[in-house]
């Protein structure tokens, strides 16, 4: 046995094995009772914290238990808050990038077109795939 634990040596091959075996896919058998958990998406800040890890652990335990009970399980990861708080964060970032002050703009001029939001949304809404990678590292 190695003297120190190297997570990449064990966790990455194990996760790849789980994916190849289809452990994350529902089996589609409609005769079985279903159990589904929707994971709220991470914040637009793009990084997870210990609270997210704790939440994932609880949901992971629930899904695994239900699967062991013979249920058709789905643990669906959310990818978009679709909420006003996220919209405000993104609009502020884009306004700052465009050199505009959102608090000084009249409501009618504070539109996606005036902020360059159509192009900016791609850069700021999910600045990286870090949340997805972090969720995968947690086993989600």
List, as one string, the DSSP characters of the chain: --SS--HHHHHHHHHHHHHHHTTTS----TTSPEEEEEEPPPPTT----HHHHHHHHHHHHHHHHHHHTT-EEEEEEP----SHHHHHHHHHHHHHHTT--TTTS-GGG-SHHHHTHHHHHHHHSSS-SHHHHHHHHTT-
Is pLDDT above 70 for 55?
yes
What are the sequence ranges of the domains in the chain? 33-80+127-140, 82-124
Q: Tell me the C-alpha distance between 113 and 116, whole Å.
A: 5
Cβ neighbours, 10 Å, residue 83: 11
What token pair was written down for 107?
């409501």
Q: What is the mean pLDDT of residues 58-74?
A: 91
- pLDDT for position 33: 92
66 band by pLDDT with thresholds 50, 70 and 90: very high
pTM for this entry: 0.58
Burial of 69: CB neighbours in 10 Å, binned 0-12, 13-18, 19+: exposed
Q: What is the mean pLDDT of residues 79-85?
A: 58
* Residues in Cβ contact with 29 at an 8 Å cutoff, skipping those fewer than 6 apart: 72
What token pair was written down for 65?
């238990």
Q: What is the mean pLDDT of residues 79-105?
A: 65
- pLDDT for position 18: 87
Report phi then psi at 10, rounded to 5: -110, -50
């Amino acid at each position: 046995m190695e003297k120190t634990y190297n997570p990449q040596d064990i966790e990455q091959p194990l996760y790849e094995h789980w994916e190849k075996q289809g452990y994350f896919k529902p089996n589609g058998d409609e005769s079985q009772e279903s159990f589904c958990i929707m994971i709220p998406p991470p914040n637009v800040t793009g990084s997870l914290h210990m609270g997210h890890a704790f939440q994932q652990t609880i949901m992971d335990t629930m899904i695994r238990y239900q699967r062991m009970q013979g249920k058709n399980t789905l643990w669906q990861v959310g990818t978009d808050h679709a909420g006003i708080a996220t919209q405000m964060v993104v609009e502020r970032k884009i306004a700052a990038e465009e050199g505009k002050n959102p608090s000084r703009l009249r409501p009618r001029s504070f539109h996606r077109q005036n902020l360059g939001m159509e192009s900016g949304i791609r850069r700021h809404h999910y600045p990286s795939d870090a949340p997805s990678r972090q969720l995968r590292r947690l086993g989600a």
